[in-house]
Amino acid sequence: MKTKSRITSILKASSLDSSITGIQTFDLSSLNGTTDLEFQLPTNVRLGHLVEKIVSELIKSSTNYKVRYENIQIIEDKKTIGEIDFIIEDENTEKLIHLELAYKFYLFDPSISAEPINNWIGPNRNDSLKEKLEKLKTKQFPLLYHNCTKSSFDTLAIDTISQAICLLVSLFIPYQYKETFSPIYEKAIKGYYVNLESFISLDNPEKTYYIPSKKEWGMDPSENEIWNHFNEIKKYIHTSIKEKQAPLCWQKHKDSYLEFFIVWW
């Protein structure tokens, strides 16, 4: 995995703003001086922790924000009841922000509801945008005001801290879906999803593929250098579908690149 490409992909990731989330938004574009950065990335961590590390370094490298606290576990009766991602400080105003970070991949299932926000689900249907927002509002943000939190931030006036979400998303819609989306969703749509039968029917000898590891999700397929024909990835995809795991697939066809999920449902 190319470190610089991974960092750039986070900086360029689309975020959902407060018109969708109902929560104050912190956009990475508000960080000054974060272009052309490169720093050491951890290797043996999951995607979410990798993104946290990158965002932490981006904030620390900026000229207008600094990290005061990060990954603070809140403990009650010797049990961890939650974790606060970041407390950051605006260097210009000295105001503090409790910042929660999420890096998510959602697929649009129009059969769920007439309300679009209800229809964005995880690739394996085990999470959703609506559930994530509910968790933030009812669990993550109230954690700041929990009695056990004060001991972790004894030098801070908690009542003066504002709260914001940096919700970075890559959205995928059904193949050849014709309905329109609001511009906030539209800018975050990265590709589509198909079932295995449709994927096989769309294949031809001119197309090559790559199955990115989870830690590569969200990176630019055009920067990838390893490509395989369908027969070389067929076994992996069949196994994934059998195990009810929807793989992300990158496709190269002549000079064009696509990314899509192959779903089991």
3 state DSSP class of 120? strand
* pLDDT tens across the length of the chain (265 residues): 789 999 999 999 999 999 999 999 999 999 998 777 888 898 889 999 999 999 999 999 999 999 999 999 999 988 999 999 999 999 999 999 999 999 999 999 999 999 999 999 999 999 999 999 999 999 999 999 999 998 888 788 999 999 999 999 999 999 999 999 999 999 999 999 999 999 999 999 999 999 999 999 999 999 999 999 999 999 999 999 999 999 999 999 999 999 999 999 9
Residue 224 has, within 13 A of its CA and on its CB side, a CA count of 25
What's residue 112's pLDDT?
97
Whether the predicted model's global pTM rises above the 0.85 cut: yes
Spatial neighbors of 231 by CB under 8 A, at least 6 apart, are: none
Measured CA to CA, the distance from residue 150 to residue 161 in angstroms comes to 12
Return the ∠ at Cα 49 (arms to 192 and 73), rounded to 5°.
Answer: 130
> What's the pLDDT at 37?
83
First to last CA, the chain: 30
Q: Which residues contact 131 (CB under 8 A, 6 or more apart)?
A: none
Q: Is the dihedral of CA 102, 107, 110, 112 positive or negative?
A: negative
| Axis crossing angle, helix 3-11 with helix 47-61, rounded to the nearest 10 | 80
Q: Are 74 and 83 in contact (CB under 8 A)?
A: yes
Per the rule left: phi > 0, alpha: psi between -120 and 50, beta: everything else, 9 is alpha
CB 42 within 8 A of CB 53: yes
**pLDDT for res 225:** 95
Domain range summary for the chain, segments of one domain joined by +: 3-173+181-186, 193-263
Pairing label, strands 248-253, 256-263: antiparallel
